[in-house]
Chain A
Amino acid sequence: MSGLEISDIRARFGHAEVLRGIDCRVAAGETVVLFGPSGAGKTTLLRAIAGVEPAASGVVRIDGREVQDLEPEHRPLGMAFQNFSLYPHLSAYENIASPLRARRLRSQEIEVRVRRVAELLRIGHVLGHIPRELSNGQKQRTALARALVAEPPVLLLDDPLRNVDAKLRYEMRLELPPLLRKTGAAVIFVTQDFREAMALADRVVVLREGAVLQDAPAEEVYEAPASVPVAQLFGDPPMNLLSAHLVPEGNRVRAEAAGMAPSFADLDITHLERPFLGVRPEDVLLASRPAGGAHAEILAVTPLHDRCVLLLRAADGTELVASVTGAAPEPGTFVSIAGARHAVLFDPVNGHRLAISGARTEVAA
């Protein structure tokens, strides 16, 4: 298989198990976003793949070749570090040229390739500067250029947009996917930002406490989180998780909570008591006039210019978040909850996903 393939990557620092056997495949030309909270082991995993993490073990294959026993300089990959890690005593040009110098290319060739990648990332005018003289955005692009310049078959990008301002981050989210696709590399992109994950990912791998919680296309992770922790991590505002009451209805089951009652098929409820009903805020259907549905009081309103996020208290006392488009309603007024456009049911004991209702897109349960 061309691309990157890792299996059973483990790492422990003292007694703390940081990676608990990670398996993952990234095909050439594919961008996999490694998503997870701080301390999930994302950076450690990248470092393990790059060979700069002595505490790690496991198998790393690049284009079918096992590289886990090779020194970092012999692994065909490029890496952009979260803290940039530029060489402070070398110019931006020499920073970017470093992988090419290591490959002993002729200096004309180096010049051509450094200029090309620098133009692509719009840092051509600062190549003569040393890192101290660069803005954070320019440092970040220099680090990215250094990872890209030798066109390695594997690219490891460790949260490269974390330290740049909002405008640049937005631009880069637009620019990076075509750029990465053009390199044809197998890309692992680390981020804690779910919007970045949605924007960049062909596939999302959700990591928490050193274990993979879900490995699926971004849309699927969003609409059908594999478990409660994924539902809590992926999304902003996060998915509502409500304790639901089950009502059998023919061969289907209705899960009632906060005035919503989505129905689920093929659900064995013999041992199931009060599962969690997961509903994305934008999937909470509201009726502006109290008519038919359950009443809910609006406790707080956060306007987000294109839509606003409402904190509601339903008639049964549960609090939930809904997001609506249009004018912001007044806090203290009432709306009615008409239902859920799309919902996910989770096992209350182990947190695993049980069923999906009202699929917006077809997703394997």
Chain B
Amino acid sequence: MPEPVIRVLRGGALALILLFFLFPILWILLMSFQTNADILRIPPRLGFTPTLSNYVALLSGKLATSSGTLDITFLRNLGNSLLLSVASVAASLVLGVPAAYAFARYRFRLGESIAFTLLSFRFAPPLLVLLPLSLYFQILGLTNTYGGLIWVYQLITLPLILWIVRGYFEDASPDIEHAYRVDGHSWWRTFTRIAIPLARPGIAAAGLLAFIFAWNNFVFALVLASADKQPVTVGALAFVTAAGIQYGQIAAAIVLSILPTLALALYAQRWLVEGLSLGAVKG
């Protein structure tokens, strides 16, 4: 086939894929500027009068419905989401990166079994562990605490970070670390000055993924926390009111809750594409 034809076909395929993945986001964005009446009109119309009322309702915390004004805690939920996700990922990085290094560099008793057990947390459906967990949490007094939630979030974030970062540590030549030791640097300095910088793209990728998974989690907070500790994913339930489902506010809430992840992804991209270990050893 001639070159231009291939290029057109490839462009067409790309456009289709982009349309498939991005159209829902575009539609949500449009919905967030529409009133519920516009949204529910059949057939839908592209020509509508944009309104900021959805965002105003979210930010002011007052939701006017046909059956009166409701208090919503969207901003607090957003704050909870940020707190829970950031703290969970931070805790997982502090615990997971050294653990990943240990699994990558050292052979020890039950090493593989421990690593696999940690991974297996990702196999079990969360609902399976939630019931016993909620009982334990009541006994321990962890129900409806940030600490308890962050702990449970480790089930999501820790295995992810551990396994992704481990691969990056394994890819780096141990001789680079040996060389640094022979130069006269301690084990700890070698870990912080050589091993971590070389695994940075992996740590960034794993951190970002873990953040997204933590951010999107729904069921842990639904069961283990009450309204004032719940993230946006659970808080969005509030828009299903007695007076009907507030599609406009849901859309606006989704748009707002995508923003932090999007910003983080754009920021972390710098490290994701950085191929640091190239040229480190021969070849």
Assess whether A88 is in contact with B178, with CB atoms less than 8 Å apart. Answer: no
Cβ 8 A contact of A73, one of B184, B276, B280:
B184
* Distance to closest chain A CB from B171 (angstroms): 12
Residue A86, interface by CB 8 Å? yes
| Chain B positions within 8 Å of A79 at CB level | 179, 182
Residue B10, interface by CB 8 Å? no
Q: How many residues of A contact B (CB 8 A)?
A: 34
| Chain B positions within 8 Å of A83 at CB level | 173, 175, 281-282
Assess whether B181 is in contact with A52, with CB atoms less than 8 Å apart. Answer: yes
* Distance to closest chain B CB from A20 (angstroms): 23
Residue A21, interface by CB 8 Å? no
Number of A-B residue pairs at CB separation under 8 A = 88
| Chain A positions within 8 Å of B179 at CB level | 79, 81, 85-87, 146
| Chain A positions within 8 Å of B181 at CB level | 51-52, 71-73
Assess whether B184 is in contact with A103, with CB atoms less than 8 Å apart. Answer: yes
Assess whether A50 is in contact with B182, with CB atoms less than 8 Å apart. Answer: yes
Q: How many residues of B contact A (CB 8 A)?
A: 23
| Chain B positions within 8 Å of A150 at CB level | 183-184
Residue A122, interface by CB 8 Å? no
Known: A85-B173, A85-B175, A87-B194. A73 touches B182 (CB 8 A): yes
Residue B62, interface by CB 8 Å? no
* Distance to closest chain B CB from A162 (angstroms): 9
| Chain A positions within 8 Å of B197 at CB level | 89
* Distance to closest chain B CB from A47 (angstroms): 7
| Chain A positions within 8 Å of B180 at CB level | 87, 98
Residue A77, interface by CB 8 Å? yes
Residue A102, interface by CB 8 Å? yes
CA of A85 to CA of B282, assembled, Å: 8
* Distance to closest chain A CB from B281 (angstroms): 4
CA of A50 to CA of B186, assembled, Å: 14
Assess whether B176 is in contact with A87, with CB atoms less than 8 Å apart. Answer: yes
| Chain A positions within 8 Å of B277 at CB level | 88
In A113-148, which residues have CB < 8 Å from any B CB?
A: 130-134, 136, 139, 146
Residue B122, interface by CB 8 Å? no
* Distance to closest chain A CB from B172 (angstroms): 9
Cβ 8 A contact of B178, one of A50, A78, A134, A163:
A50
CA of A102 to CA of B185, assembled, Å: 6
Residue of A nearest to B172 (CB): A88
Assess whether A47 is in contact with B178, with CB atoms less than 8 Å apart. Answer: yes
Assess whether B278 is in contact with A98, with CB atoms less than 8 Å apart. Answer: no
Assess whether A99 is in contact with B178, with CB atoms less than 8 Å apart. Answer: no
CA of A328 to CA of B178, assembled, Å: 51
| Chain A positions within 8 Å of B194 at CB level | 87
Residue A334, interface by CB 8 Å? no
Residue A189, interface by CB 8 Å? no
| Chain B positions within 8 Å of A102 at CB level | 183-185
Residue B198, interface by CB 8 Å? yes
In B136-157, which residues have CB < 8 Å from any A CB?
A: none
Residue A276, interface by CB 8 Å? no
Residue B116, interface by CB 8 Å? no
Residue B48, interface by CB 8 Å? no
CA of A79 to CA of B184, assembled, Å: 11
Pairs A–B under 8 Å by Cβ, sample size 24: A50-B182, A51-B182, A52-B178, A71-B181, A73-B181, A73-B182, A73-B187, A79-B182, A81-B175, A81-B178, A83-B173, A84-B280, A85-B178, A87-B179, A87-B180, A88-B277, A89-B198, A89-B276, A98-B183, A99-B183, A102-B184, A130-B279, A132-B280, A139-B282
In order of increasing CB-CB distance, the 6 nearest A-B pairs are: A102-B184, A132-B279, A88-B280, A52-B178, A72-B181, A85-B179
With contacts A72-B178, A132-B280 known, what are 10 further pairs, Cβ within 8 A? A51-B182, A71-B186, A73-B184, A85-B178, A85-B179, A130-B279, A131-B280, A132-B278, A132-B279, A163-B282
Tell me the B residues contacting A by CB distance below 8 Å: 173, 175-176, 178-187, 194, 197-198, 276-282
